[in-house]
Amino acid sequence: MDLPSLLAENIVQGFIIGLLVGLVVRVASKAVRNLLIIQFIVLKYLESRNILIVDWNRLTNGLLGQKDLVIGEAQNLFDTAVEMGIFGAALAGGFLLAQRFGK
């Protein structure tokens, strides 16, 4: 398979998947947002009544004091984003187009 057809295939696939994901996110985002807000309120209520104990310091797993680990992970994330290349750009384009159609 030659490079231009491979790039065209990735662009089309990324654009279609991005469009579909954008439409789904547009529809479901309000419901998910409300569900997360309700869950957080219930969690804080249970914690304030001493029914549930949350170790908020342990949730970070000690990452706040390890600057080198965080920088290394950020670099790995950046490298992965760069490797995604044209597919990621087409996916983002489709997603943004779906967001425009939803308005």
Q: What is the pLDDT of residues 30-73, one digit of tens each?
A: 788 788 888 888 888 888 888 888 776 666 666 566 677 777 77
Residue 4 in domain: no
Gyration radius from the chain CA atoms: 20
- Say how many domains are in the chain: 1
**Domain around 32:** 20-78
Residue 92 in domain: no
Q: Is the pTM of this model over 0.75?
A: no
Residue 3 in domain: no
* Residue 103 one-letter amino acid: K
Residue 102 in domain: no
Q: What angle do CA 93, 3, 10 make, to 5 degrees?
A: 25
Residue 6 in domain: no
